[in-house]
Chains A and B, each alone.
Chain A
Amino acid sequence: MPEDTFMGVKREKIDWSPTIDYSKCDFCMECDKFCPHYVFERRDEDPKLVVANPTNCVVFCRACAKTCGPDAISFPSKPETIAKIKKIREEEGEQ
């Protein structure tokens, strides 16, 4: 498996993944059915759906939120995430 990076920055250093608002989620699992990157995982116990693999999430993709009927999925701010990625790149020097 090649090293997982985004613009040369290690993926685990980038805070980008969905957050489920459990007060809205009706566990229809549409997001999980949609996402080809196995970000979500279904569980037998409550909550029946969790963000199990946040670093699998494609940086800046928010497509799963579009499939969410009850609007229960949110993401971090893009401009803030962009700024953080640039800062890390600057600190680490051009890769």
Chain B
Amino acid sequence: MKRAVLPCNGLDKQHGVLARELALSLSETQGAEIICPVLLNTAPARYEKALADAFLLVVDGCPTRCASKLAGKLGLRVDDKVLVSEQAKSAGLEVGVSLRPGPVGMRLVEIMAKGLAEPKDTSAEQVSTGEFESPGDFLTVTYDKFIFNIPTQDYLFNENDCWVRVIGGRARVGVTDFVQQNMTDITYFEPAEVGKQVEQFDEVGSLESGKSMMDTLSPVSGRIVAVNTQLVDSPELVNEDPYGKGWIAEIELRDFDSDRELLLDGVAYSKIVEKKAAEAQH
């Protein structure tokens, strides 16, 4: 599969400069086509061919994430993302303040390029039990022209618009219909790390659309045992089936009785949706 790389090209920041260097390195070693963010912004049609059916990697220098935002604005399907400042942190490298890449910066570029050389092996992460079916019964909240579905059985919710469905010692979590309708077309999913221990309300995967960004705040505490890797290629599943195929993560429960205290059933959550829908219109 051909690859395309969209760097932020942040010329006035040390990490942005390295985003450009990483794009150059991937172009030289893996034949990735470089998408210039400036030209893409001015004349997106110029890259239509390069982006069609390509594996698109977005490289942001700093958390302002200009390249990601540009991709979101243009509705591009993003297959992978790298944040240089985060990579520097996890590699324990201080790249200095110079806007010309130095030896440490180039070492970081090398590390990042190496990490991107092979497609990610996600097979080990797919240990989902597959016992979770889409919900049967819904209640609906109608506001203006919007209709929000809320499953009435087996699902619980937190006030941060995330759901949980528990089967045995495991739970699947995701975002509600209210979230997906507010975000509109979801274009990017960043899964959480499998194996990670999370507290209740910790981030367990994030979603982006051209309109906004949202972290899934886990309704339960425990260990992440699976993430929905299907969403990496098809984030639109969250729009199509937020309570079923659009699930975000599977968690081995640690203390559900305690988590339950801060969860709502469908009827109680519908009151929250009513309130939020009314606020969103004003």
B180 contact set on A, CB distance < 8 A: none
A59 contact set on B, CB distance < 8 A: 159-160
Cβ contact of B160, chosen from A2, A58, A86, cutoff 8 A: A58
Q: For the side of the interface on B, what is the size category? A: 20 to 34
Q: With both chains docked as a complex, state the minimum distance between the C-beta of B163 and any C-beta of chain A, in angstroms.
A: 15
Docked CA distance A61–B213 (Å): 11
Q: Assess whether A86 is in contact with B63, with CB atoms less than 8 Å apart.
A: no
Docked CA distance A69–B213 (Å): 16
Q: With both chains docked as a complex, state the minimum distance between the C-beta of B166 and any C-beta of chain A, in angstroms.
A: 19
Q: Assess whether A69 is in contact with B217, with CB atoms less than 8 Å apart.
A: no
Q: Assess whether A63 is in contact with B213, with CB atoms less than 8 Å apart.
A: yes
Q: Assess whether A78 is in contact with B199, with CB atoms less than 8 Å apart.
A: yes
A68 interface hit (Cβ, 8 Å): yes
Q: With both chains docked as a complex, state the minimum distance between the C-beta of A74 and any C-beta of chain B, in angstroms.
A: 14
B262 interface hit (Cβ, 8 Å): yes
State whether A61 and B275 are in contact (beta carbons under 8 Å apart), knowing that A28-B64, A67-B65, A69-B64 are contacts in the complex.
Answer: no
A22 interface hit (Cβ, 8 Å): no
Q: Which residue of chain A has the shortest Cβ distance to B62 in the bound complex?
A: A69
Docked CA distance A85–B279 (Å): 24
Count of interface residues, chain A, beta-carbon cutoff 8 Å: 24
Q: Assess whether A61 is in contact with B217, with CB atoms less than 8 Å apart.
A: yes
Residues 5-39 of A, flagged 1 when their CB comes within 8 A of B and 0 if not, give 01100000000000000000000101000101000
Q: Assess whether B64 is in contact with A63, with CB atoms less than 8 Å apart.
A: no
A68 contact set on B, CB distance < 8 A: 63
B193 interface hit (Cβ, 8 Å): no
Q: Assess whether A67 is in contact with B199, with CB atoms less than 8 Å apart.
A: no
Q: Assess whether A60 is in contact with B201, with CB atoms less than 8 Å apart.
A: yes
Q: Assess whether A67 is in contact with B63, with CB atoms less than 8 Å apart.
A: yes
Q: Which residue of chain B has the shortest Cβ distance to A33 in the bound complex?
A: B64
B275 contact set on A, CB distance < 8 A: 2
Q: With both chains docked as a complex, state the minimum distance between the C-beta of A8 and any C-beta of chain B, in angstroms.
A: 10
A66 contact set on B, CB distance < 8 A: 63, 213, 215
A86 contact set on B, CB distance < 8 A: 261-262
Query: For A59, A69, A71, which residue has the most chain B Cβ atoms within 10 angstroms?
Result: A69
Docked CA distance A89–B258 (Å): 13
A93 interface hit (Cβ, 8 Å): no
Q: Assess whether B203 is in contact with A62, with CB atoms less than 8 Å apart.
A: yes
Q: Which 5 A-B pairs have the closest CB atoms?
A: A69-B62, A60-B201, A69-B64, A30-B64, A2-B275
Name A residues whose Cβ lies closer than 8 Å to a Cβ of B.
2, 6-7, 28, 30, 34, 36, 58-63, 66-69, 71, 78-79, 82, 85-86, 89
A-B residue pairs in contact (CB < 8 Å), sample of 27: A2-B275, A2-B278, A2-B279, A7-B159, A28-B64, A30-B64, A34-B213, A36-B212, A58-B160, A59-B159, A60-B201, A60-B217, A61-B215, A63-B214, A63-B215, A66-B63, A66-B215, A67-B63, A69-B13, A69-B62, A69-B85, A78-B200, A79-B199, A82-B199, A82-B200, A82-B201, A85-B262
